Structure 1
Amino acid sequence: MDKPIFQPKVLLRPAITLIVVLLLATTLMGSWYLTQVSDPYVQEVLSLTGSLERGKAMFQANCAVCHGLDGRGNIGPNLEAVRERKVPSRLIEQVISGKTPPMPKFQPKTQDMADLLTYLETL
C-alpha cells in the first residue's frame, strides 16, 4: 500500500507548537504592557497635561548632553520620531528605569515627566 503524500499528523504537531508559542508570547507581552501601564507613577504621568516649554527646558538640562540639543543623538541614540517607535508608557519606563546604560536612572516628579514626555513626542 502506498503512503499518502499528505500526512496530517506530521503537519499537526508543528502547527500546534507554533500556536502555543504565539499564545505564550502574546500573553507575556500583554502582561508586561499591563504591568507598565498599571504602575501608579506611569498612570499619573499619563493623566497629566505636559508643558512643551518646560519639557524642552528639562530635556536641555538633563538629556541634551547625550542625545544632542535637537535630540538627534550624540552618545545616546537619536530620539527623532521616538513617538513612532515607542508608546508613551515605554518612554516613561525607559527614562526612569536606568536599564539602558549608560543612561542613568532618572525619576523626576510626575509633572516634570509629563512635560518631558510632551517634548519628546515633538521630536
Structure 2
Amino acid sequence: MKQLTLLLAFLTGTNLLADIENGKAVFAANCAICHTVNGGSAMGPDMNIVSYTRKKEDIETYAKDPYSLYEKFGYSANAMPTLPLEDQEFKDVADYIDSLQTFKKWMKKKKS
C-alpha cells in the first residue's frame, strides 16, 4: 500500500493523472464513436490493442495526421478523420490510451 501511495504522489506531482483524465474526456468526445476500450464492435481498432502494440508517441503522431500515415502504420486504408484537436489534447489522448495496458508488446523477452 505504501508503494501505491508513493506512486500516486509521484504521478500527481507530474500531472500525469490529470493528463490521463483529460485524455479520457477528449477520447469520449472525439474518438469513442469509432473506437472501443475493452472490446466491442466499432469501425476502428480497440484501444486496448493499440495500447499494447503502439508506443505513446506513435499514437499521438498517427492521430494528428492519419491520412498521410496510414500506410506507414500498416493499414490498407484510412477511415480516420483528421481531428480538430489542440496539441495538448492529442498528447492527453495518447497518455490515456497508453495507460490502458501497462504491459507492452515490445516488453516481451525474446527467445535466444
Q: TM-score range by the shorter chain?
A: 0.5 to 0.7
**3-state SS in 2 of match to 1:83:** helix
Q: Distance in 1 between matches of 2:83 and 2:98?
A: 18
> Which residue in the other structure is 2:95 paired with?
118
Structure 1: give runs of 5+ residues left out of the alignment: 1-47
Q: In the alignment, is residue 84 of structure 1 matched against residue 52 of structure 2?
A: yes
Cα distance in 1 for partners of 2:89, 2:34 equals: 19
TM-score by length of 1: 0.51
What residue number does 2:43 align with? 75
Identity %: 27
Moved over 3 A (4+): none
Using the alignment, how far apart are the partners of 2:54 and 2:63 within structure 1?
A: 12
Q: Equivalent residue for 2:83?
A: 106
Q: What TM-score does the superposition give when structure 2 sets the normalisation length?
A: 0.56
Structure with the higher fraction of residues in helix conformation:
1
Give unpaired runs (5+ residues) of structure 2. 1-14, 71-77, 101-112
The aligned length equals 75
1:54-101 CA-to-partner distances (Å, cap 9, x unmatched) read 110100000000003x36351111111423311222111210112242
* Match 1:56 to one of 12, 20, 24: 24
